[in-house]
A and B are shown apart, each in its own frame.
Chain A
């Protein structure tokens, strides 16, 4: 991160920095990770931060929260190039590679409105990752092929 960007997004003492989020996705990430700010900890969100000469990115810093593996999985789907940095006492103690799980349970809804997982039944959505490279998913119930954009939108 360049000097000017560092100023833009204040350093945190303990917590998680989610960097290199695809520009424009930070608010969705906050929402899907359930980061609401209700517990009073400082959350800094920066949108459209210049990443290099061409691209822009979003950054989220959450104080006193350390992302769980499950959160990492969600992030992998929302913004596969994002990076997770765990900070303790101002030090980067862990840089986590994000990776897609084989199955995503109860996080995203199947985009097929006629899918039983979207019915009134008491049922957990169950979406399998069938191609990790191109991110192609498949609903375990209706078998519909799901692309990443179908999920996020």
Chain B
């Protein structure tokens, strides 16, 4: 009898998970954290995580590797197309099939939309999407939601501001798809040139109250329970002056905190450059490092659930 709903399941899109699924994952993550190290270390023993990163992302990869190590398992893989077989012209399909033979679960990051879905069709073992194309990064969305849930005790009813590069930020879309399962107000703050892509939020606009702004207005700021900051990348701007002008506009520093609710939580998927002042790190409002820790715990929990039929000994 399999009680664990996620056993051998792929994690391709946050949209494949219902609100109940997410709440269940949060609960499991809470349970996982209470386990003794030695018990955790048995949950992935003798199992191998295979990662294929067609775009480099040290943080996401390390988070998965560290999560797998905490379960007593090991990780093998390929990073960056430049050093991988892709340069020799091997198809993604072939690489997936090979990795499928060497590992028990595959973690894939790939620049094309839908690549994880395709990989999941080919692989016998489960695929975890660690970022595909421009919209999906489901485990990041889960850990963001889990962080919000842990910090605020609830997700429903919150007012969430997302600021920065909303056009190219993959985590932003994945997070929005996740938030659309809850009853929240979302304020999107970005320069017009980096505004959200309408075609990518077409389906969630019915469920999510989205409002767009070009500045972090005081009126907006004082309503926020969460401010989710994303990096604005210089490369996105044809004109460096335009970039310089924009980047300062969204910098989160003590003057921003002064105008905010006293318990506003500042989140960031990391790495940050200078969009959050280092002095903010010391405040209780800064939860981005906690977010990274929650991320590892949530990913370890997901791996546990995928690899074990009934890891938490449920009746």
Contacts and interface: CB of A to CB of B under 8 A. Distances in A.
Interface of A: 112, 114-117, 119-123, 139-145
Contact of B113 (A122, A123, A144): A144
Contact of B114 (A115, A120, A122, A145): A115
Given A116-B112, A121-B91, A122-B93, A142 B133 contact: yes
A123 B118 contact: yes
B190 interface: no
B91 A120 contact: yes
A123 B202 CA distance: 26
Interface residues of B, number: 21
B91 A144 contact: no
A121 B93 contact: yes
Contacts of B239: none
A130 B96 CA distance: 30
A141 B118 contact: yes
Given A116-B118, A142-B117, A144-B113, 6 more contacts: A115-B112, A116-B110, A123-B93, A141-B117, A143-B114, A144-B199
A112 B112 CA distance: 10
Given A121-B93, A121-B118, A116 B113 contact: yes
Interface in B214-267: none
B99 to A, nearest CB: 15
A64 B4 CA distance: 58
Contacts of A115: 112-114, 133
Contacts of B60: none
A142 B114 contact: yes
A115 B136 CA distance: 12
B135 interface: yes
B92 interface: yes
B89 to A, nearest CB: 9
Contacts of B15: 143
B308 interface: no
B84 interface: no
Nearest to A136: B202
A123 B199 CA distance: 24
Given A114-B112, A121-B92, A121-B93, A140 B199 contact: no
B117 A116 contact: yes
A20 B202 CA distance: 32
Interface in B99-143: 110-115, 117-118, 133-136
Contacts of B13: 143
A143 B93 contact: no
Contacts of B110: 116
A114 B199 CA distance: 14
Contacts of A143: 13, 15, 113-114, 135-136
B203 interface: yes
B202 to A, nearest CB: 5
Nearest to A117: B114
Contacts of B135: 142-143
Contact of A114 (B92, B118, B134): B134
